[in-house]
A = this chain, B = another copy of it.
């Protein structure tokens, strides 16, 4: 295993920024975040209606955003309410600011 994402010792900040950037590297995920930010929060089902994508696809994008730490889910049976994770959002904001001189 020495291909694809070779292990180089980058600074922690660099790696974190790359993770956040990767989460934003797809227009659907950016649109989801914008939507979440406007609505404060929303349910998965709402997004499935807003975007012309399968429920599984939306769910996958949400998973990636969650893995990157940008959103968090809250059980609100039988739905799940997703919100921006404000703490990590601020962290990402800071990292991007620091990066762009």
Contact = CB atoms under 8 A, between A and B. Distances in A.
Interface of A: 6, 8, 10, 14-15, 17-18, 21-22, 24-28, 30-31, 33-34, 37, 51-53, 89, 92-93, 96-97, 99-101
A17 B30 contact: yes
Contacts of A10: 27-28, 30-31
State the copy count for this chain: 2
Given A96-B100, A100-B92, A8 B21 contact: no
Contacts of A6: 52-53
Contact of A18 (B15, B30, B92): B30
A96 B95 CA distance: 11
